[in-house]
Structure 1
Amino acid sequence: MEEGKENAKIIFKKWVSEFSDVLYSWALYKTSSKETAEDLVQDTFVSAYHKIDSFKRKSSPKTWLFSILNNKIIDFYRKNSRVKKHEFKISEMTGYELSDNLFDENNTWKSREIHQIWEQEEHLLDNVDFNGVMANCIDRLPQKWKVAITSKYLTDKKANEICQDLDITVSNYWQIVHRAKLLLKECLETNWE
């Protein structure tokens, strides 16, 4: 038993040495804060160390660590968001209704006006507060839609893998992604000042 723990420690030390820089770069890219990125990477390794026995080697250690880090990033933004706390999670049916309501009977935008947040000169994804609002907007999406969006944009999974995970067709997947992006746009325009 002690030998297994020692092997795990050796493997873990190798992972820290091998993947710290790339994990830090990703966290810094996603948060634009050196301190936050350092904390998130440290939290990732702490979690990985405590869960090392659950690593089944179905993916590479790097992929596994990145999935832990991406969850830490999402949690960070969720905790630091300025989205109104009374907002609720949207059901899939409500999601369809809300996204359909953005168009008129001729399937054109009801409003062609570009919202002022999209005209800002700063890169919104470099803004920690904006990313917090976006994380909460993503969290409000129906579960399947949330998984589709986070898998596509945070973990860079391919469409066919996401379809397998969600047990949906490719055309259904693209419809979900499209509708989720519409709802995210609406949520961001409502909640970002």
Structure 2
Amino acid sequence: MPNETDQEYAEKQLHSDPSSWVEKYADYLYGFAMSRLRDEDVAKDLVQDTFMAALQRLKGFEGNSKEKTWLTAILKNKIADFYRKRSGNSLNDLRIMGIEGELKDFFDAESGHWTEKDYPRAFGLEPHNPLMMKELGSILNECLAKLPGLWFSVFSMKHMDDLSSELICTELKLTAANFWVIMHRTKLNLRACLQKNWN
């Protein structure tokens, strides 16, 4: 009769079949990683790392969530680790005081309102026009691709993964001030890029 550990392992096998992971989830996980990393080689490596980590943690998978959800959570952690490692040097370049200079470029010093040349313009969107929305999505992706890696990571974790600011700071080892500087600069960059490229 198998011991309890073997029996538990066999029960968990009912919830998860590692031999089918690549066929079932590789494309989805790769697409997920690419949408957050924008680097094919890194995305492929992290998907492989995800499968390896999942194999190592298989005994801990109790089937309380779907395999896909569980693997995606592991991949999210791998992506956060990747950006955490890369962010060490990037954070040295962030200066809270530098934001004041940026604000001067966009806002009138006396009134605090947008300068005439930087005043937000309406995009003239027609939400029910699929071609227009597709074109805007394409331009937005191009603008996102121009962001520094750390900025993109913070922005995607906040607005794509809908994570709290506190969790993002914890995951990427950012201070609250650094987080808000990154978000501010990212939004200004995206706004300028969209206005420049959207006719």
TM-score computed with the length of structure 1 as normaliser: 0.53
| CA distance 1:133–1:67, shift in 2 (3 Å) | farther
Q: Within 5 Å, give how 1:18-29 maps onto structure 2.
A: none
Please give the root-mean-square deviation of Cα atoms over the aligned residues, in Å.
4.5
The AA in structure 2 aligned to 1:108 is H
- Aligned-partner Cα distance in 2 for 1:124–1:104: 36
- Aligned-partner Cα distance in 2 for 1:141–1:45: 22
**Which secondary structure state, in structure 2, belongs to the residue aligned with residue 173 of structure 1?**
helix
1:172 corresponds to which residue? 178
The share of aligned pairs that are identical, in percent, is 23
| Contact 1:67/1:155, CA 8 A, preserved across alignment | no
- Aligned-partner Cα distance in 2 for 1:100–1:63: 46
Equivalent position to 1:122, from 109, 116, 127: 127
Q: Deviations over 1:94-134 (max 9, x none)?
A: x95656522232332113744241x3232689823322211
Shift of 1:53: 2.2
Is 1:53 the counterpart of 2:59? The answer is no
Give the number of equivalent residue pairs: 143
The AA in structure 1 aligned to 2:127 is E
Q: Within 5 Å, give how 1:128-147 maps onto structure 2.
A: 128-147=134-153
The AA in structure 2 aligned to 1:104 is D
1:73 corresponds to which residue? none
- Aligned-partner Cα distance in 2 for 1:136–1:102: 23
| Contact 2:147/2:186, CA 8 A, preserved across alignment | yes
1:82 corresponds to which residue? none
| Contact 1:163/1:169, CA 8 A, preserved across alignment | yes
Question: Computing the radius of gyration over CA atoms, which structure comes out larger, 1 or 2?
Answer: 2
| CA distance 1:128–1:144, shift in 2 (3 Å) | same
| Contact 2:50/2:75, CA 8 A, preserved across alignment | no
1:102 corresponds to which residue? 106
Structure 1: which 5+ runs fail to align?
1-6, 21-40, 70-90
| Contact 2:155/2:186, CA 8 A, preserved across alignment | yes
The AA in structure 1 aligned to 2:125 is Q
